[in-house]
Structures are given as C-alpha cells and as structure tokens.
C-alpha cells in the first residue's frame, strides 16, 4: 500500500484554487490506484507556530536535557517528519503569495527541515535523508511568472525539498487566474488536463 501525504496551504482553505487542484489530483489518484492511504494537512485550518528562539533551541538541545515544554515541541516536529518518512507520494497545494510560499508552509518547513533528522551535514555539504519520494506541486498564481526571474517560489521548493533528499518533483501551474475570464478559464482547463494525465 502506498501512502499519500497531501498538504494544502491556501488562505482560502478548501476553496483555494491550489487546494482544489490538489484535491482533484488526489481523488483521481486514489480512484486509479489499487490501494493507498491518505494523510491530509490543511495548514490554513491548523497552522503551525512560526519558528522562534525557544522552538529552535528545543530542536538543538540534546534529548536527555530537554524540559517538558521542549519535549512537546520536538514531539510535534517528529510527528510531521514521520509523516514525510512514511509518504511515498507528496502532494502540495501551493498558492503564490507576494512571490513566495505561504507563511504557513514556511512554518511547516521550519518544523521538518531539521539537521540530523531529514538532512545531515557532511564534508561534502548537506545530504538529504528522505529518499524515494514523488512530489506533485499544484501551483496557483494570479499572474504569470513561470520561467521568469520573479518565480522564486519554484526554485525555493526545489532547493528546500532537495535539501531533504526529495528531488523527483513535478509542477502543475495554473497562472493568470486574476487576469480575466478567458485567461483564467484556459489556465484551469490546461491544469485539469495535466491532472487527469498525471493521475492516470
């Protein structure tokens, strides 16, 4: 049985276009698969705390020296990391906010990108510890940015997932959603066709 981890981060929740695309893909993927388990996280409905000094210190304090509050912080992070470890397929619903990822998703990354857990430092640089995972990212944008210098989101996602060893990544873009009816309709239709193809 394969495990799918789906993470949505639209501030509009299930009504966000990135969430709708990700949900549609997962529904189709499950319908076309022999068996799969699904873990869903909505980072807008249940956001994680943003990283601060106390939380970072909890991560870096040796396990035997952590107090109760630090153990609770690490336990929350460990649970998120275990979801990533268990996942065979990772699906991200990813809107573009101010040329970057949603702050809720950045908070998520700050809880799972941990030295010694999802990557380690070596003499040759960082080495990712999460292997053999497939990632699909459903990126909804109000304007058109793909392939331009302003699309820093795509590079960031490839870099931060790659840091953890996750390199098999595919993007489905729906761009120009705020540029008028015909442009938005075509973008969504094109995205839906790619969703059907990739979930087959």
What CATH number does residue 185 fall under?
3.40.50.360
Summarize pLDDT for 12-35 with one digit per residue, the tens.
999 999 999 999 999 999 998 766
pTM of the full predicted structure? 0.95
Which structure tokens are listed for 160?
A: 């931060």
Cα–Cα distances in angstroms (integers) from residue 99 to residues 136, 138, 140, 162, 197, in the given order: 19, 15, 12, 20, 28
Q: Which residues are annotated as a binding site for FMN?
A: 10
DSSP secondary structure code for residue 16 in this structure: S
Summarize pLDDT for 39-61 with one digit per residue, the tens.
999 999 999 999 999 999 999 99
pLDDT for the residue numbered 180: 81
Q: How many independent structural domains does the chain possess?
A: 1
Q: Which residues are annotated as a binding site?
A: 10
* In contact, 119 and 165? CB cutoff 8 Å: yes
Distance CA 178, CA 157 (A): 23
Note down the domain range covering 119. 2-199
Distance CA 83, CA 92 (A): 14
pLDDT-derived band at 6 (thresholds 50, 70, 90) equals very high
Summarize pLDDT for 139-181 with one digit per residue, the tens.
999 999 999 999 999 999 999 999 999 999 999 999 999 998 8
pLDDT for the residue numbered 181: 84
């Amino acid at each position: 049985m394969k495990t799918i981890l789906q993470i949505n981060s639209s501030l509009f929740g299930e009504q966000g276009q990135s969430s709708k695309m990700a949900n549609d893909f997962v529904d189709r993927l499950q319908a076309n698969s022999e068996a799969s388990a699904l873990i869903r996280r909505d980072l807008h409905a249940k956001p994680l705390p943003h990283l601060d000094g106390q939380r970072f210190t909890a991560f870096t304090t040796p396990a035997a020296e952590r107090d109760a509050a630090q153990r609770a912080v690490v336990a929350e992070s460990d649970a998120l990391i275990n979801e990533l470890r268990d996942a065979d397929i990772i699906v991200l619903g990813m809107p573009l906010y101010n040329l970057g990822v949603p702050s809720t998703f950045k908070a998520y990354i700050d809880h799972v990108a941990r030295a010694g857990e999802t990557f380690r430092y070596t003499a040759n640089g960082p080495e990712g510890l999460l292997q053999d995972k497939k990632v699909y990212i459903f990126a909804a944008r109000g304007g058109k940015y793909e392939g331009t210098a302003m699309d820093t989101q795509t590079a960031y996602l490839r870099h931060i997932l790659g840091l953890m060893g996750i390199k098999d990544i595919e993007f489905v873009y729906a761009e120009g959603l705020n540029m008028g009816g015909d442009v938005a309709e075509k973008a969504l239709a094109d995205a839906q066709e790619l969703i059907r193809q990739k979930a087959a």
